[in-house]
C-alpha cells in the first residue's frame, strides 16, 4: 500500500463499492475514504462502516507474517478472517460474510 495522504468519513453522493467486502455503498450512506500515493500514482480506498469497524480485528488476525506490505489488508485477508473455522464465529464475521456473499464451511 502506498503512502496515505488523507482520510475521512464521507457521505456518499453517488453509489460506490466497498473495497473490503464489495458491498454497495448507497447514496447518503457514510463510508470511510482514504487517499494514497504510490509509484503508479494516486488511488482511493473506500470502506463501508462494517468493514471499517472490523478492520482492527482483521489486522490482528492477519498478523505481520501474512501481510503483504505493498497491498495492505485486502479482500482476501477479510475473507480468510471471516471464514476461518479455527476461530469463533463473531457477529462482525457473520455481517461481513453477508455483505460479501462468502460462506463459512463448518467441519463435521
Write out pLDDT tens, residues 37-86.
988 899 999 999 999 999 999 988 887 546 555 567 889 999 999 999 98
- Three-state SS annotation for 7-75: EEEEECCCCEECCCCCCEECCCCEEEEEEEEECCEEEEEEEEHHHHHHHHHHHHHHHHHHCCCCCCCCH
pLDDT averaged over every residue in the chain: 89
Tell me the backbone φ, ψ of residue 71, rounded to 5 degrees. Answer: -100, -20
Q: Tell me the pLDDT tens digit for each residue of 6-27.
A: 999 999 999 999 999 999 999 9
d(CA 18, CA 25): 7
Amino acid at each position: 500500500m502506498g503512502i496515505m495522504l488523507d482520510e475521512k468519513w464521507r457521505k456518499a453522493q453517488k453509489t460506490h463499492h466497498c473495497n473490503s467486502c464489495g458491498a454497495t455503498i448507497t447514496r447518503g450512506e457514510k463510508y470511510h475514504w482514504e487517499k494514497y500515493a504510490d509509484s503508479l500514482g494516486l488511488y482511493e480506498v473506500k470502506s463501508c462502516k462494517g468493514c471499517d469497524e472490523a478492520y482492527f480485528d482483521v489486522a490482528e488476525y492477519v498478523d505481520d507474517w501474512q501481510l503483504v506490505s505493498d497491498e495492505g489488508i485486502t479482500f482476501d485477508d477479510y475473507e480468510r478472517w471471516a471464514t476461518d473455522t479455527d476461530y469463533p464465529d463473531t457477529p462482525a464475521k457473520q455481517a461481513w460474510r453477508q455483505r460479501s456473499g462468502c460462506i463459512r464451511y463448518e467441519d463435521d
